[in-house]
Amino acid sequence: MTFPQIYIFAVLAATLTLFIWGRWRYDIVALLALLAVVIGGLIPPEKAFDGFGHPAVITVAAVLVISKAIQNSGLIGWLARSLEAFNQRPELQTGAVVILVGVLSAFMNNVGALALLLPVVIHTARKSGRSPSMLLMPLSFGSLLGGLVTLIGTPPNIIIATYRGTLGQEPFGMFDFAPVGIVVAIAGALFIALIGWRLIPAREGQGAEKGGLFDIEGYITELVVPEDSNLSGKSIRELLEPAGHGEVVAVALQRGESRRLKPALNEIVRDDDTLLLEGSAQSIETIIHDSGLRLVGSSTLDPKALESEDIHFVEAVITPNSRLVRRTVAQAMFGRRYGLNLLALARQGRPIRENLRKVTLRAGDVLLLQGDAQALPESLSTLGCLPLAERDLTLHRLPSPLPLIVFAGAIASSVLGFLSIPVAFTAAVVALVLTRSVNLRELYSSVDWSVIVLLAAMVPVGLAVEVSGATAIIADGVANLAAVLPPWSVVLVILLVAMVLSDVMNNAATAVLMAPLAFGVAERIAVSPDPLLMAVAVGSSCAFLTPIGHQSNILVMGPAGYRFGDYWRMGLPLEIIIVVISVPAILWIWPL
Long-range contacts of residues 561-565, Cβ cutoff 8 Å, at least 24 apart: 561/133, 561/203, 561/204, 561/205, 561/206, 561/346, 561/348, 561/349, 561/350, 562/133, 562/136, 562/137, 562/203, 562/348, 562/349, 563/348
Sequence-distant (6+) residues with CB within 8 A of 549 are: 502, 503, 504, 505, 507, 543
Alpha helical stretches, state H, 485-566: 488-502, 507-524, 530-540, 551-560
Q: How far apart are CA 200 and CA 227, in angstroms?
A: 55
Q: From 355, 387, 419, give the residue that closes a domain.
A: 387
Q: From 342, 363, 387, give the residue that closes a domain.
A: 387
370 within some domain: yes
The angle subtended at Cα 272 by Cα 267 and Cα 275, nearest 5°, is: 50
Same-domain status, 277 and 316: no
585 within some domain: no
What's the length of the chain? 592
Nearest to 348 by CA among 486, 448, 457, 204: 204
277 within some domain: yes
Q: How far apart are CA 328 and CA 384, in angstroms?
A: 15
Same-domain status, 383 and 360: yes
Q: What pLDDT is recorded for position 218?
A: 63
Nearest to 349 by CA among 185, 564, 95, 186: 564
Q: How far apart are CA 375 and CA 440, in angstroms?
A: 18
279 within some domain: yes
Same-domain status, 318 and 358: yes
113 within some domain: no
Q: DSSP letter at 235?
A: B
Q: From 338, 366, 387, give the residue that closes a domain.
A: 387
293 within some domain: yes
Nearest to 64 by CA among 138, 142, 152, 129: 152
Same-domain status, 353 and 321: yes
Tens-digit pLDDT profile for the chain (592 aa)? 788 899 999 999 999 898 888 788 889 999 999 999 999 999 999 989 999 999 999 999 999 999 888 877 776 556 666 777 788 889 999 999 999 999 999 988 888 888 888 888 888 888 888 888 899 999 999 999 999 999 999 999 999 999 998 888 899 999 999 999 999 999 999 999 999 999 998 765 444 344 555 666 666 788 888 887 788 889 988 888 887 777 788 888 888 888 888 888 889 989 888 888 887 777 888 888 888 888 875 455 555 666 777 888 888 999 888 889 889 988 888 888 888 888 888 887 777 766 777 889 988 898 988 888 888 888 888 898 888 876 544 444 456 788 889 999 999 998 888 999 999 999 999 999 999 888 888 888 888 888 899 999 999 999 999 889 888 898 888 888 877 888 889 999 999 999 999 988 888 889 999 999 999 999 988 899 999 999 999 999 999 999 888 889 988 988 888 888 899 999 999 999 999 999 999 999 999 8
260 within some domain: yes
Nearest to 533 by CA among 189, 168, 157: 157
Sequence-distant (6+) residues with CB within 8 A of 205 are: 213, 346, 349, 350, 351, 561
Structural domain of 372: 311-387
* CATH code assigned at 352: 3.30.70.1450
Q: Which helix (H) or strand (E) holds 449?
A: helix 449-467
Q: State the total domains in the chain.
A: 2
Same-domain status, 285 and 329: no
Whether residue 131 contacts residue 141, with contact meaning beta carbons closer than 8 Å, is answered with: no
Same-domain status, 293 and 240: yes
Q: How far apart are CA 517 and CA 144, in angstroms?
A: 23
Nearest to 142 by CA among 202, 179, 190, 175: 190
Nearest to 387 by CA among 409, 371, 403: 371
Residue 68 zone, left/alpha/beta (φ > 0; ψ -120 to 50; rest): alpha
Same-domain status, 294 and 326: no
Same-domain status, 225 and 296: yes
Same-domain status, 316 and 288: no
Q: How far apart are CA 67 and CA 155, in angstroms?
A: 14
Q: What pLDDT is recorded for position 398?
A: 53
Same-domain status, 280 and 322: no
Same-domain status, 295 and 320: no
Same-domain status, 293 and 225: yes
341 within some domain: yes
